[in-house]
Every structure is written in structure tokens, then in C-alpha cells.
Amino acid sequence: GAVVSQHPSWVICKSGTSVKIECRSLDFQATTMFWYRQFPKQSLMLMATSNEGSKATYEQGVEKDKFLINHASLTLSTLTVTSAHPEDSSFYICSANRGDTEAFFGQGTRLTVV
Amino acid sequence: GQNIDQPTEMTATEGAIVQINCTYQTSGFNGLFWYQQHAGEAPTFLSYNVLDGLEEKGRFSSFLSRSKGYSYLLLKELQMKDSASYLCAVLDSNYQLIWGAGTKLIIKP
């Protein structure tokens, strides 16, 4: 089946630094990818929709200058958390759509900002 | 390895009740989620279970048995708008989400 790979799985960074998370669709082309954030034991929160070759669409309340999304190819989208702070510590998950009906999820990236 | 199993597709009749099962084998357990996803849309959160038992929320209920590695989502009084994919996901001991492939639920009049 289709696989979406997210990297890294874990990252610890210092406050004020930036962290890049990659989301790759391994065996299909994804014109649309979604980025989510999940705090422990809470629901997934959609952050933004990433479309290949165009600017991402951010959900209300998500700072686009802080969470930079680049969907440069049909198999790769990246989320960069800029100037990270401890409150950005969370679990970030991507998903990639194959066609209109199938969504495949990455295993998530656990970000800890110290 | 880690594994989540759920049926690929189910069909039910409007007004009826349907139960979607999910079995899991993961390295550790920190909770199980159910999500609903309509075609072309982002998934929406339905439920979270971390303790054994049944959690009811309106027409939707979710059950968990940790000893059996088993959960189900129960949908009552089915409506046409309930036609969607239902995803089961488990948080493992590293707080990574392990996803099932989803169950496509088709509601017929």
C-alpha cells in the first residue's frame, strides 16, 4: 500500500532555533498534503493544506510566518518551525492524498523545544 | 511489527446501526483514536479512548479493550452523511501514531 514517510521521528532543539520536518509520499504523487498538530491525548488540529507548486493554505490562528510550508514537488512537503519556543513542543503529523479519496498518514514527528 | 487492522469496506442502511472494528498490535499503548474522513477533506476527530470501556457521544460510541487489543466504533441511526472513511489510529509507547488503512462506510437508502 501507499506509504507516507515523515522525518525525523524525534527532534529536540533549543529555543530560538528552527526545525524542518519532511513529509514524503514514497510510491505515489501527492498534489495535496496536510499538516496537523496534536497535543498529547487531544485531537488532531489541522494547521495547513499544502498544494504542490503554490502557497499553502493556513487554518485560522496558525502563524504562517512561524510555520513555513514548502511543497516543492509531488512527493515532498516540508514544515519548518521557525524560532521555536517551548510552547511549540508537540506532535506534528502530515498526510498525503492520493487522488481525492485516499489519505495516507505519516508516523508523526515529536518536537521538543528546550 | 506494529499493525492496525480494520475492514476495508462496509455497507449499511440508513437508520440502522453499524459497528466498525479495529484490532491492534503495537509497541506500547497510549490511547486509540477514531477519525471520520469525507472524500477530499481532512479527517475530523471522533473519539479518544485510553481506558477500557464504552464512551458515548451522541450517535457515535467507541469501545476499547486493551487486554484484547481491540476497539470498535458504533454508529447509530445512520444518516447518508455518515458515508465516509473511518480511521483507527493508536498512539504507541513513543507517542507515535500508528494508522489503520481506514474503513470505507457506504450508507444505502
pLDDT tens sequence across B10-62: 999 999 999 999 999 998 998 898 989 887 666 777 888 889 999 998 999 99
In this structure, what C-alpha cell is assigned to residue A46? Answer: 489541522
Optimal mutation site among A3, A35, A102, A104, interface B, most CBs of chain B within 10 A: A102
Residues of chain B with Cβ-Cβ distance to A89 below 8 Å are none
Question: For residues B106 and B8, is the Cβ–Cβ distance under 8 A?
Answer: no
Contacts of A70 (CB under 8 A, 6+ apart): A50, A77, A78, A80
pLDDT at A41: 58
Q: Which residues of A are less than 8 Å from B102 in CB distance?
A: 103
The ranges of chain A with pLDDT < 70 are 1-2, 39-43, 100-102
Contact B99, B5 (CB under 8 A): no
CA-derived radius of gyration, chain B: 13
B83 near A CB under 8 A: no
